[in-house]
Amino acid sequence: MNLILLGPPGAGKGTQAELIIERYNIPHISTGDIFRAAVKEGAPLGLKAKEYLDSGQLVPDEIVNGIVKERLQQADCGNGFLLDGFPRTIPQADALERCLAELNRKITAVINIEVDFEVLMTRLTGRRVCRNCGALYHIQNKVEKVPGVCDHCGGEIYQREDDFPETVEKRLQVYRNQTEPLIKYYQNKDLLFSFNGEEPILVVFQKICEVLEGKF
Ligand code: AMP
């Protein structure tokens, strides 16, 4: 199953990704996670990507395309994969198609999660993360027991720089301008399945499974 998860930042792609990869036993390829890990390690890729991440801009296509191409050739992608946060531009989608053609593979389905922009602003600007284990919190509906301390590992809870309000606005604007056109792109290829990301997590997941299992 070769899947793409599409949707604006904050739509819940990461959450659905975790559920999907567990159920279908395929690797989760999140370009955002790859960049954040490289920044944390101080790797050369991280040094190149940091300014784009912090300002909410997209990392240039050539860099992202190369990373994904390399990743898709690894053995664990043999039975399928879930791309999360890639492609994000039409040139990235074209590059992905070329790369998959070389590997004799095709996209099976594109899962598009839709959420109102006002809701996204609240979700993202209120999001907090544990610096140590990555656990997610929210100032309105998932508050830690001891302020600033992770319930799971005792790590420090902080706000990602790209969740600051100015940066969130920039990220949503970038999504509208550069990523939203992919909805039509995949609709035209008859690959797009859209879901209401404002429904409860497990309801969305159930509907995604119904579509995927109905297809195969
Ligand atoms: P995400 O966690 O998917 O929201 O990604 C965080 C940041 O990583 C984005 O705001 C971009 O700076 C960068 N990034 C992730 N995926 C891509 C991509 N496919 N193309 C360009 N930049 C990306």
Query: What CATH number is given to the structural domain containing 193?
Result: 3.40.50.300
* pTM given for the model: 0.90
Rounded distance, CA 152 to CA 134, Å?
A: 10
Active site includes 207? no
Kindly state if the Cβ of 88 falls inside 6 Å of ligand 1.
yes
> What is the DSSP secondary structure assignment for residue 63, as one 8-state letter?
H
pLDDT value for 215: 66
Kindly state if the Cβ of 171 falls inside 6 Å of ligand 1.
yes
pLDDT tens figures, 149-206 = 999 999 999 998 889 999 999 999 999 999 999 999 999 999 999 999 999 999 999 9
In a domain, 35, yes or no: no
What does the chain come to in residues? 216
Number of domains in the chain: 1
Grouped pLDDT means (10 residues each) for the chain, 216 residues = 95 94 95 92 90 90 94 93 97 97 95 96 94 92 95 96 91 95 97 96 96 81
> In terms of residue numbers, what domain contains 105?
2-26+79-115+176-214
- Do 207 and 109 form a contact (C-beta atoms < 8 A)? no
In a domain, 84, yes or no: yes
In a domain, 207, yes or no: yes
In a domain, 8, yes or no: yes
Catalytic residue among 36, 88, 123, 128, which? 88
End-to-end CA distance of the chain: 9
Q: Tell me the best of 16, 35, 124, 127 to mutate to test the pocket of ligand 1, counting ligand atoms within 8 Å of each CB and taking the most.
A: 35
In a domain, 51, yes or no: no
In a domain, 141, yes or no: no
In a domain, 120, yes or no: no
In a domain, 55, yes or no: no
